[in-house]
């Protein structure tokens, strides 16, 4: 996804955690960069919602800041005449959930949840999703089986099975999906 401003200024790293720093030396330039950032996240949120056939976007810069969610953005630094383009994003955040275990007991947990995940249609199945996801895992210091996933799409289910050998074995009563190994060595069971 190309924009008419410099993506490389907005996202310094190949995978950037949004909000860490907004570039600009003056108040005006920081304001402009903030607006650019808002636009990129809005576009990504809209495209992701469309890809998942949701009725509306579930991701915006403002909402993520309020809820303390982390958005990681993957870019291609060399496209668009060196200004860079955006390939995709993943959004995660902690949530208090009740999840069922193998014995049918409700457990109150506070896991990191994958809330939104999208790679541009023209870039899917090239390993970009994996690159983003691995970066997020490392940054958040979490193992894949400890994540809860909010309404995963078929593509995402297939992705998790292929790359991390994860599959859901316990049906939940909420929209979240957990995997074999979710309860092993957890420290956040309330």
Site residues, ligand ACO (CB under 6 A):
48, 51-52, 114-119, 124-130, 149-153, 155-156, 158-159, 162
> What is the closest distance, in whole angstroms, from the C-beta atom of residue 7 to ligand ACO in the complex?
18
> What is the closest distance, in whole angstroms, from the C-beta atom of residue 106 to ligand ACO in the complex?
22
- SS3 annotation, the chain: CCCCCCHHHHCCCCEEECCCCCCCCCHHHHHHHHHHHHHHHHHHHHHHHHHCCCCCCCCCHHHHHHHCCEEEEEEECCHHHHCCEEEEEEEEEECCEEEECCCCCEEEECCEEEEEEEECHHHCCCCHHHHHHHHHHHHHCCCHHHCEEECCCHHHHHHHHHHHCCCCCCCCCCCEECCCCCCCCCCCEC
Smaller CB separation from ligand ACO, 39 or 51: 51
> What is the closest distance, in whole angstroms, from the C-beta atom of residue 145 to ligand ACO in the complex?
16
| Max Cα–Cα distance, the chain, nearest Å | 58
Smaller CB separation from ligand ACO, 117 or 182: 117
Smaller CB separation from ligand ACO, 80 or 153: 153
Smaller CB separation from ligand ACO, 9 or 170: 170
Smaller CB separation from ligand ACO, 83 or 151: 151
> What is the closest distance, in whole angstroms, from the C-beta atom of residue 62 to ligand ACO in the complex?
19
Closest residue to ligand ACO in the complex (CB): 129
> What is the closest distance, in whole angstroms, from the C-beta atom of residue 109 to ligand ACO in the complex?
17
């Amino acid at each position: 996804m190309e924009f008419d401003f410099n993506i490389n200024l907005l996202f310094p790293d190949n995978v950037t955690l949004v909000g860490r720093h907004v570039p600009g030396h003056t108040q005006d330039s920081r304001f402009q960069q903030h607006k650019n950032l808002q636009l990129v996240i809005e576009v990504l949120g809209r495209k992701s919602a469309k890809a998942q056939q949701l009725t509306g976007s579930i991701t915006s810069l403002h909402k993520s800041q309020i809820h303390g969610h982390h958005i990681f953005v993957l870019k291609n630094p060399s496209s668009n005449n060196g200004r860079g383009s955006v390939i995709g994003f993943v959004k995660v955040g902690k949530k208090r959930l009740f999840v069922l275990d193998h014995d049918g007991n409700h457990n109150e947990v506070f896991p990191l949840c994958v809330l939104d995940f999208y790679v541009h249609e023209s870039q899917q199945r090239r390993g970009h999703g994996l690159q983003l996801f691995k970066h997020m895992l490392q940054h958040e210091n979490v193992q894949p089986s400890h994540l809860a996933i909010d309404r995963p799409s078929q593509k995402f289910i297939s992705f998790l099975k292929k790359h991390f050998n994860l599959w859901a074995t316990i049906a939940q009563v909420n929209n979240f999906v957990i995997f074999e190994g979710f309860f092993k060595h957890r420290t956040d069971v309330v």
